[in-house]
Amino acid sequence: MSGTKRLAKRSIIGTRVSALWQQDGRFYPGVIRALAAEETPTNQALYTVRFDDGFESNATSKEIIGPGFATGPTGRLKHAQKVFVTMNGREVCGLVAHHDRRVEDVIISLKHSNGEEFTINRKLDDIRLMESRKSARLVDQATDYSKLADLQLSEPKRRAVSHSIDVPSPAFKQRHRRHRDSSGDTEGSEHGGDFDDVDIMDETIAAMVLTSLSVSPKSPTITTQYRGETTFEPTQEHSYVSSSVASSGFYSGHSERDDPSPPHLSESAPASSSFDFPGRSDLVPSDSDTRDTLHSRLSEQGDPEDRIKYRCTWRGCSTVCLTSTQIERHIRRAHFDRDSDLELSDREEEFYYEEVDDVDLDSVTQSFAGMYTSSPPSILPDSLEMARTFDHDYQRKEEKFRSHSHGHSQASSVPSGGTFGQSGATSSIPITIPEGQIKRSLSWQIQAPSPGSLVSPPQRTSKMTPQERLQQHQAQSPKSHMLSMSPLKSAGPHRKPRSEVRKCRKVYGMDNRDQWCTQCKWKKACTRFLD
């Protein structure tokens, strides 16, 4: 591994890159002009780079950032190096104020058109030396400038920090680099071990923006990138927003503009021709809603083979998996809040799933399908696991439907089975014990709360996690007639009857937020107490 690589493809010529200008140690935009020297066992290839401002010089492959070369800066960025970062969904351009090599944190100085400066702190990896094309997200966000203004204006905790660091003054930015003393440009002045979370913006932007031009020029032609205004000339240097964005109107002086015509690169496109992008995947319809996608996708796989599945019996959960390994994993993750794959001590997972016959599942799915018209329920049993794991809502609904329509769907399709704790004619899930192997399976949690038959958890009562305990409390709570009441009580069209189950928030209280399950902390559907 003599560190040799052959990025020689001749297509490299003309590639837009950011290359090191030896004289001042900073990177500047330009294009590969030629291969000045082939790579040799001892030396790296040398390229001639023509900078956008007309200068030209040679650089080794290591000193070039761009397609075919390093993907991003690696060395220390010099003070005042021009960089691009994404901020609030937009690409902005700033100058490096300080780069801390130890943690690869870079403090970047930014400035708004109104002249105010502020700094942000980014990881080196998040920094680009070249403008990037807009990401899918940037594209449709580009129109919503009100957000930006909003953000800026409503920043309450303004920290007057921006000047605590040595930030190049606006004037300084006109560095005419080519002529700056390139000699002892060590400028090791601003080193203070400071760094750290410098901060966010602290800026106020004029009321300008409120005009949200609702144009969404999703023109895929963005690939053409700019061409004409590639130069970062001192004059309008700090345009702040990279040209690609600027062209959508914000900084172009007028709130109104949206000139949809693609950037004419007519002027000349000698070199730019080879500025091709890896893939034009932008043209794809792109991310539809994940749920639907998931659905349709899932419904394509499946195997009518094995009939035995594993179903989670955790109260309210009915996730089904193909293998016991999977189900155990699910249990650990969803119900024990363990992210890892480690087995629970004593393999407690085993107590929370049962084996079920395919047929039974199908009927379940069927009944579910019948009622749920909105989504194609052609889900095959084996995909259920995923569907459920990914979409708790789905899972929840499904469970409701099941318990609702269970009485009929069960029919005789059930092989031999032994129900655990027969507490009346309630809907206890049939437990099937396959001839061959014997596995423990339980359904203690589905029983109705008949006065007398206590909801007894698996013999293993000896040890219960706090979650289980709480779980049971809920199960025994006076309101656990879930089964008997219609989940669709409110006649409302899309009214979703909220479950009675108390979730982390309520169980632990606001004070013990740290004990909530992660989802609850994030205000997402609780994974610990499923309905």
Partner DNA sequence: TGTGCCGGGTT
Partner DNA sequence: AACCCGGCACA
Q: Which residues bind DNA (CB under 7 A)?
A: 86-89, 141, 147, 151, 200, 339, 392-393, 490, 492, 494-499, 501-506, 510, 518, 520-526, 531
- Between 340 and 437, name the residue whose CB sits nearer to DNA: 340
- Closer to Zn ion at the Cβ: 209 or 520? 520
To the nearest whole angstrom, how small is the minimum distance from the Cβ of residue 469 to DNA? 17
Instruction: Decide: 35 and 47 in contact? Cβ < 8 Å.
Output: yes
CA distance 416 to 423: 19
In the set 64, 507, 526, 530, which binds Zn ion (CB under 5 A)?
526
- Integer Cα distance of 248 and 213 in angstroms: 9
The token pair that represents 409 in the structure block: 């769907």
Give the shortest CB-111-to-Zn ion separation in angstroms: 44
Quick one: 21 or 516, whose CB is closer to Zn ion? 516
Q: Are 383 and 398 in contact (CB under 8 A)?
A: no
Nearer to Zn ion, 177 or 396 (CB): 396
Q: Nearer to DNA by C-beta: 64 or 317?
A: 317
Characterise 8 by phi-psi region: left (phi > 0), alpha (psi -120 to 50), beta (else). Answer: alpha
Residue 162, contacted partner among DNA, Zn ion, none, CB below 5-8 A by kind = none
Of 162 and 445, CB closest to Zn ion = 445
Residue written as token pair 């966010």: 200
Report the nearest approach of DNA to the CB of residue 211 (Å). 18
Choose between 59 and 526: whose C-beta lies nearer to Zn ion.
Answer: 526
526 SS3 class: coil
Stretch that binds Zn ion, among 56-64, 314-322, 403-411, 502-510 (CB under 5 A): 502-510
**Interaction of residue 520 with Zn ion, rule CB under 5 A:** yes
Q: Please report how close the Cβ of residue 120 comes to DNA at its closest, in angstroms.
A: 8
Residue 13 and residue 34: Cα distance in Å, rounded?
6
CB of 457 to DNA, least distance (A): 22
Work out whether 504 is an interface residue with Zn ion (CB under 5 A).
yes
Q: Measured from the CB of residue 519, what is the shortest distance to Zn ion in angstroms?
A: 6
Backbone phi and psi for residue 104, each to the nearest 5 degrees, phi listed first? 55, 40
Residue whose tokens read 């019948």: 370
Does 530 contact Zn ion by CB under 5 A?
no
Q: Which is nearer to DNA, 17 or 526 (CB)?
A: 526
CB atoms within 10 A of CB 361: 21
Alpha-carbon distance of 234 to 177, in angstroms, equals 10
Partner whose footprint covers residue 522, from Zn ion, DNA, none (CB < 5 to 8 Å by kind): DNA
**What is the smallest separation between the CB atom of 284 and Zn ion, expressed in angstroms?**
36
Cβ 234 to Zn ion shortest distance, Å: 56
- The rounded distance, in Å, linking the Cα atoms of 326 and 316 is 18
Pair of tokens at residue 28: 């500047």
Residue 228 sits at φ, ψ, to 5 deg, of -65, -50
- Residue 528 contact partner, candidates DNA, Zn ion, none, CB within 5 to 8 A by sort of partner: Zn ion
User: Which tokens belong to 434?
Assistant: 């396959």
Helices (H), 21-144: 136-141
Strands (E), 313-454: 320-321, 353-357
Q: Which residue has the tokens 């009346």?
A: 424
**Binding partner selected for residue 37 from DNA, Zn ion, none, CB under the kind-specific 5 to 8 Å limit:** none
Closer residue to Zn ion (CB): 451 or 522: 522
517 binds Zn ion (CB under 5 A): yes
469: partner contacted, choices Zn ion, DNA, none (Cβ within 5-8 A by kind): none
How far apart, in whole angstroms, are the C-alpha atoms of residue 520 and residue 52? 51
| Part of the chain binding Zn ion (CB under 5 A), chosen from 193-201, 292-300, 372-380, 497-505 | 497-505
Cβ atoms < 10 Å from Cβ of 116:
15
317 in contact with Zn ion (CB under 5 A): no
CA 50/CA 58 separation, integer angstroms = 9
**392 is a contact residue toward Zn ion (CB under 5 A):** no
> Among residues 128 and 528, whose Cβ is nearest to Zn ion?
528
Tell me which DSSP letter residue 417 carries.
B
Residue closer to DNA by CB (options 143, 428) is 143
Taking the least distance from each CB to DNA, the nearer of 460 and 524 is 524
Residues sharing a CB contact under 8 Å with residue 321, sequence separation 6 or more, in sequence order: 309, 310, 311, 312, 327, 329, 330, 353, 385
506 sits in which H/E element: helix 504-508
Minimum Å distance from CB 149 to DNA?
A: 12
Q: Which does 517 bind (CB under 5 to 8 A by kind): DNA, Zn ion, none?
A: Zn ion
Residues within window 204-263 making contact with Zn ion, judged by CB under 5 A: none
State the binding partner of 187 from DNA, Zn ion, none, CB within 5 to 8 A by kind.
none
CB of 336 to Zn ion, least distance (A): 12
Length of the chain: 531
> Please, what is the minimum distance in Å from the beta carbon of residue 16 to DNA?
25
- Which residues have a Cβ under 8 Å from the Cβ of 315 and sit 6 or more positions away? 445, 446, 471, 474, 475, 530
* Residue 524 interacts with which of Zn ion, DNA, none, CB < 5 to 8 Å by class: DNA
| Contact residues for Zn ion, defined by CB under 5 A | 503-504, 517, 520, 526, 528
